């Protein structure tokens, strides 16, 4: 009698787990393409924030880098005006993906956040990224109330700058 009770309980819990897994799989199958489309739309919008009306060739997919994911070459009338790197990283507070422009002289330009799931997401945007983009602080001024997120962004931008310098033969 006691064995049947445990067996019934195990079967019911197994059934609930199986149905839950099936529902999660179906939900993922339905939404995964929309999530990818939204990410692509955000990325295209962010590219416009970096270099305005520049045109971009298909991005180079970067492998073996800590944060760098893609490299776009920005051009105006067939003249290269800079690179745009997509970088992604995470820490214990969440994930960040961004686009950063790197000018021909190796300096970073604008930064556009694509994804920001950090605990202090609004602080990172308002007290670090927005101020960087306005030139009111430097990349090293990470003490903004979201130091770990700002440090993550700083590390991403530094890796992009270093890669751009290597590509241009600068040291």
pLDDT of residue 96: 96
Nearest 5°: CA angle at 42, between 39 and 44? 110
In a domain, 45, yes or no: no
pLDDT of residue 33: 87
In a domain, 77, yes or no: yes
Domain region containing 133: 50-167
| In 36-93, beta strands by DSSP E | 55-56, 60-61, 68-76, 79-91
In a domain, 134, yes or no: yes
In a domain, 30, yes or no: no
In a domain, 146, yes or no: yes
In a domain, 86, yes or no: yes
pLDDT values of the chain reduced to their tens digit, one per residue, 171 residues: 667 888 888 899 999 999 999 999 888 888 888 878 888 888 888 899 899 889 998 899 999 999 999 999 999 998 999 999 999 999 999 999 999 999 998 899 999 999 999 999 999 999 999 999 999 999 999 998 899 999 999 999 999 999 999 988 865
pLDDT of residue 1: 61
In a domain, 161, yes or no: yes
Q: How many domains in the chain?
A: 1
pLDDT of residue 94: 95
Query: Could you tell me which residues come within 8 angstroms of residue 1 by beta carbon, excluding any fewer than 6 positions away?
Result: none
Burial class (CB in 10 A: 0-12, 13-18, 19+), 148: middle
In a domain, 38, yes or no: no
């Amino acid at each position: 009698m006691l064995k049947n009770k445990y067996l019934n309980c195990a079967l019911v819990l197994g059934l609930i787990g199986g149905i839950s897994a099936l529902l999660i799989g179906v939900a993922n199958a339905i939404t995964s393409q929309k999530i990818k489309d939204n990410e692509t739309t955000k990325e295209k919008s962010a590219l416009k924030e970096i270099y305005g009306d520049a045109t971009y060739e298909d991005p180079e997919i970067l492998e073996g880098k800590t944060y760098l994911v893609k490299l776009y070459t920005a051009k105006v009338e067939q003249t290269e005006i800079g690179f745009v790197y997509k970088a992604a990283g995470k820490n214990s507070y969440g994930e960040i993906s961004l686009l950063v422009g790197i000018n021909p002289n190796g300096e970073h330009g604008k930064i556009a956040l694509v994804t920001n799931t950090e605990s202090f997401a609004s602080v990172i945007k308002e007290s670090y990224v927005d101020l960087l983009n306005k030139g009111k602080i430097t990349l090293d001024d990470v003490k903004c109330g979201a130091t770990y997120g700002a440090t993550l962004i700083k590390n991403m931008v530094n890796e992009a700058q270093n890669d751009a310098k290597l590509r241009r033969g600068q040291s």
